[in-house]
Amino acid sequence: MGTAYFYVEPRVRLASRGLGELLTGLCFGPLVVLGTYYVQTQEISFAAFMAGVPVGFLIANVLFINQFPDKEADQAVGKTHWVVRLGKKKAAEVFVILVSAVYASVALGVLMGILPKISFITF
């Protein structure tokens, strides 16, 4: 809950500082999956954390892509998220990297034996 508050809290404004995507992806990806796993098993599992990493990248990318149409308006009011900082062209390259990270994290998890082979269905 603290992350949600600090995401928009005027003195902190994580969303305006380029940390919103990272923290939201972490909270709604690996931490949610790990928390759900823990509630059901009473154990901490690196595999559960890794299963949430691709989800976290997807969540972060939803926030990231949403910044493109608002770039000029956000820049005018001092919101310095990554699309404002990088410009649309470089930010588009980061978008591709974030999408690629989803697939790379699934492949890495399977190849390391952390995620089950059925995870390759992602591809």
pLDDT exceeds 70 at position 98: yes
More confident position, 43 or 13: 43
Tell me the C-alpha distance between 98 and 112, whole Å.
21
Tens of pLDDT, residues 83-94:
999 999 999 999
Task: Write down the pLDDT at residue 1.
Answer: 57
C-alpha angle 107/97/68, rounded to 5°?
Answer: 140
Q: Which tokens go with 74?
A: 């956000």
Query: If pLDDT is split at 50, 70 and 90, which confidence band does 123 have?
Result: very high
Mean pLDDT of 9-13: 75
Tens of pLDDT, residues 43-80:
999 999 999 999 999 999 998 999 899 899 988 988 88
Helices marked H in 1-123? 2-8, 20-28, 30-41, 46-66, 71-76, 82-86, 88-111
pTM to 2 decimal places: 0.85
Tell me the C-alpha distance between 14 and 61, whole Å.
16
Q: Which tokens go with 12?
A: 């902190």
Domain ranges of the chain: 2-122
Query: If pLDDT is split at 50, 70 and 90, which confidence band does 5 have?
Result: confident
Contact 110, 116 (CB under 8 A): yes
Tell me the C-alpha distance between 3 and 26, whole Å.
10
More confident position, 24 or 88: 88
